[in-house]
Structure 1
């Protein structure tokens, strides 16, 4: 029987790359995001490549929308064995002193409460499968703070706390909890969202960095962790480009 994987934030970037990769690994992917036009294109691409996927409109900041995702999962063509909590993002780079509370609230709602809502809603299905896996895509910002990153690092630290707490609480039940923490990843939208559409500021983050990570690199990590034998739990995987020795140390040409 085909296993079902659910990927949130699947309309672009790491989420879309993860949906493609998991479909190639044989999962039927429920690709969840708000932008249904992009999801439709993604599903068509996956199916053209011989995979199986279903588009599910879902806003992780809405209880009702997440309940709809769970209802769709209950009618999926197989057991739900994998949940990839990928939906998230950053807004702004202001110091705490002048922080925009709305930006912080959005980051907390999407990254932290979104992970909470979706995980709560899907845990029953994951447990019924007898071999469930929860993946939380967080960030190296969940380990190290930096100037201007207070809101984003606070949200990512909270996701790391969720992963660790959930692993303790699910001990003895057939559900793994895996946290994947990418460093510098260049995607088409992350920087644009953070800098309110300012393409120059978004591009400057990667200036001189020969090879930042790309979405497919992170998707590869998700797939590798998720396809280990179920008794193998990769608690935490930190992945950075070679050019990034640490959060604050990046080699630029």
Structure 2
């Protein structure tokens, strides 16, 4: 089976590698088709595509859109989008503005917890000043030795109930799906196993997602266990969703799984790339 990796990040959002470097690494890892899906940002796509053409890698324009549903943040990957679509661009711009304000509040809360200078420290890890996120704060916390690694930074400071967590209202599910649809893309639920939803809540969400025009779900993800591969394969078939595969790679030494180093999709699933 061809090696598809349809979820990864570059320095245009919170990844460690520039878009061209990411493409180079994907080729070295034997990836046949790569989608760059930066958080709420498409500025890295042109560089990545240019390098992919040079290296003979099939490249898919993508994005990962932040939405709020049921009081939690859910990420929706848009695949095969048109980066030049005005409605998509405007929607992503609005989401990015919310990120800047959230970062200021996070820094204030961390200062109250005895951690000064976190906003400036986080921005030191930001290549794109229009997009700052929790991962940048996590890297600052590692640098200053408040924690040993990025995962610990999230666990101790950056998730709900911890000192640096700031709840935020992202785009609605309806709007997020509309942005992707306007850009001609396929909407895919990213790493569903990461969301703290009961089985009933997950089915409710997937029903709304499908009814709103959603088309796929990440069955194979670095966030999933072998049991979850099966769980989301069953849900994909139950809801008539296309199955996707993505590493969610952010950078060497930081991500659980490297580009393209994932199990294959089960043959019984219809892949999101079926009609590409």
Q: TM-score of the superposition, structure 1-length normalised?
A: 0.36
Return the TM-score normalized by structure 2: 0.34
**Higher share in helix:** 1
